[in-house]
Amino acid sequence: MECAIGGKLKLLSPSIPSFLNSRRLPWDQLRNKRLTTYKFQIQAQNCFSLEVEVEKGGNLGNFNGESLVWPSPSDEIPFWNKEFPCWDVSSDIPVEVNKDAQLLHIIHVTAEMAPIAKVGGLGDVVTGLARACLLRGHTVDVMLPFYECIIKEQISDLTLITSYNSYHDGSWIPTNAYRGVVSGVAIILIQPTNHFFKGRNVYGGSYNELEAYLFFSRACLEWMQVTGTQPDIIHVHEWQTGALPLLYWDMYHSLSLKKPRIVLTIHNMEHFGECSKEQLDKCGLEGSIYASIDKAVDDRTLGHNPERLSLLKGGIVYSNAVVTVSPSYLKETLCSGWLSSALIKHRDKYIGILNGIDNTIWNPASDVFLPAKFHAQNFEGKKLCKYYVQKGLGLPTGAHVTDMTHKVPLVVCITRLVAQKGLHLIVHAIKRVEELGGQMIVLGKAPDAKVEREFEGLANSYNQGCSIRILLIYSEELSHMLYAAADMVLVPSMYEPCGLSQMIGMRYGAVPVVRKTGGLADTVFDMDDQPNHEMGNGTR
């Protein structure tokens, strides 16, 4: 039996009364003991007593860090790049999940999926949503491009299942579909034999991205057609798959795909898939047919020469339901931005559903990347994580993990370094934290060369000092460790459709400090907001 502080319960008495559960145990007494095993008696409703032995520690690891090898900035292999134990989240099944009455077959079609092809929150949400629907009894597949950068070892049971041809620009491209499993979710990877999706990163390869995703959108439908796969729902995400609803209703629905209905989730309306009519022609649709206000034209270019199309707008018009990722972002997008008129017109099928995080994947009590585990009832491991990260990055610590210097607050900011994320506020925070004697770590990657240079300049000067570290890399492992080490997670976005960073921060015991916008306004409530004091969980 697993116990609430993460150790194992061994019942020394053979009979277990059905009403006994772990909440009845004297956890507070237990927490304060520095014992590896602890025996005590449980009095149950005065009718009998039971002797229980608890192995303290268990999942939570050691609390004083005695057996840990402390990292240092001079380590040849940085502490976040070392080998971590395999982690099969699919074996970690939450207990009380009710099955839905109507069970559906859902196929997600997406450019990202965590952890194999993750750039930001889209990847997290696709995996988390797929896993949540699986637990509720649905059949779920995720289709994504077989990017060259995907690490095959992260996929179980990878098998070639279909070789077929899919159309692009007047030719039929030989294409392979592979099946595999990631985090317990069945995936189908689409691999064209041309140059699409080659390169070291998910985005930014030396191929035309828009044309590659047009190809991918059609190749997913073509695969369903050749294999006779008819899901109930095809769930597309973002502009990259915005052409799929057009292809479905104007091409494949009149072939053999009859059953599916299309859901589009918009994770960020800033990227709308600008596309010329000629580019749309390349996937076999007639681009000029879509150049009208009620279809896919970018309203701002109507009557211009040339007019432009938007795959996202096309997706909004042609999908059966359109979802965005928070109620506040729904309101914001109905009130401003050029897509608002299309969204108002399709208001009856447009809904805002707040994103969540996957509590199994993001779980400080079982996270394999953490040097020590912890949870809401026992924070000892969090102190150790902070000490570990401070040591590894050369930030001052106390002489020992139990020293009070851990009281120096540590702020972390884990983000794509793009204008949306409030770059000037991040820079301002770096300065203020240093002035106020705190510590701050920024983990971010800048897709834009100018922003990258700016942050490299900041990193070169601040990283010499003793309170700020700026790391311009993408590292899933380090991100987990930083959330665990943090006292505060900073999310100063100018706009934020939902944001996951603040939720992950809260899950790992850090206080979110955010700008009140979009999904941040829906998830973070000010501690100082007196009338709603009981909702307070951060500051905004």
**Footprint of ligand ADP on this chain (CB under 6 A)?**
120-122, 124, 414-416, 443-445, 474-476, 479, 498-501, 504
Measured from the CB of residue 359, what is the shortest distance to ligand ADP in angstroms?
14
318 vs 495, which CB is nearer to ligand ADP? 495
Residue 463 burial by Cβ neighbours in a 10 Å radius (0-12, 13-18, 19+) = middle
Report the interhelical angle of 423-435 vs 449-462 (nearest 10°). Answer: 0
In the numeric block, which tokens belong to residue 449?
Answer: 């060369």
175 vs 523, which CB is nearer to ligand ADP? 523
Measured from the CB of residue 156, what is the shortest distance to ligand ADP in angstroms?
22
221 vs 510, which CB is nearer to ligand ADP? 510
Q: Which of 112, 515, 507 is nearest to 328 (CA)?
A: 515
Measured from the CB of residue 502, what is the shortest distance to ligand ADP in angstroms?
7
126 vs 296, which CB is nearer to ligand ADP? 126
User: Are 153 and 174 in contact, with CB atoms under 8 Å apart?
Assistant: no
> Please, how many CA atoms are within 13 Å of residue 247, restricted to the half-sphere of its CB?
27
287 vs 499, which CB is nearer to ligand ADP? 499
145 vs 519, which CB is nearer to ligand ADP? 519
Measured from the CB of residue 506, what is the shortest distance to ligand ADP in angstroms?
12
Measured from the CB of residue 142, what is the shortest distance to ligand ADP in angstroms?
17
308 vs 445, which CB is nearer to ligand ADP? 445
For the chain, the first-to-last Cα distance in angstroms comes to 41
Helices (H), ranges, 409-529: 423-435, 449-462, 476-485, 501-507, 518-523
Measured from the CB of residue 331, what is the shortest distance to ligand ADP in angstroms?
18
* Residues whose CB falls within 8 Å of the CB of residue 501, separated by 6 or more in sequence, listed in order: 414, 415, 489, 491
Measured from the CB of residue 14, what is the shortest distance to ligand ADP in angstroms?
46
Measured from the CB of residue 401, what is the shortest distance to ligand ADP in angstroms?
25
262 vs 443, which CB is nearer to ligand ADP? 443
Amino acid (one-letter) located at 330: L
Task: Enter the DSSP assignment of 352.
Answer: E
DSSP string, 270-299: T---EE-HHHHHTTTS-GGGG-STTTTB-G
Measured from the CB of residue 329, what is the shortest distance to ligand ADP in angstroms?
11
356 vs 394, which CB is nearer to ligand ADP? 356
Measured from the CB of residue 191, what is the shortest distance to ligand ADP in angstroms?
25
DSSP string, 97-118: -PPPSS--EEEEE-S-BTTTB-
CB atoms under 10 Å from CB of 254, counted, come to 9
Measured from the CB of residue 416, what is the shortest distance to ligand ADP in angstroms?
5
The rounded distance, in Å, linking the Cα atoms of 421 and 495 is 7
The rounded distance, in Å, linking the Cα atoms of 427 and 419 is 12
Measured from the CB of residue 141, what is the shortest distance to ligand ADP in angstroms?
23
The rounded distance, in Å, linking the Cα atoms of 325 and 120 is 14
Paired residues of 50 in beta bridges: 42
What does the H/E/C string look like for 249-269?
HHCHHHCCCCCCEEEEEECCC
175 vs 363, which CB is nearer to ligand ADP? 363
214 vs 443, which CB is nearer to ligand ADP? 443
166 vs 523, which CB is nearer to ligand ADP? 523
Strand order in 48-55's β-sheet?
8-11, 48-55, 37-44
174 alpha carbon, distance to own chain's centre: 32
Give the chain's length: 540
Measured from the CB of residue 510, what is the shortest distance to ligand ADP in angstroms?
12
The rounded distance, in Å, linking the Cα atoms of 28 and 22 is 12
301 vs 475, which CB is nearer to ligand ADP? 475
Q: Which of 181, 509, 142, 525 is nearest to 362 (CA)?
A: 509
* Cis ω for the linkage preceding 115 (within 30 of 0): yes
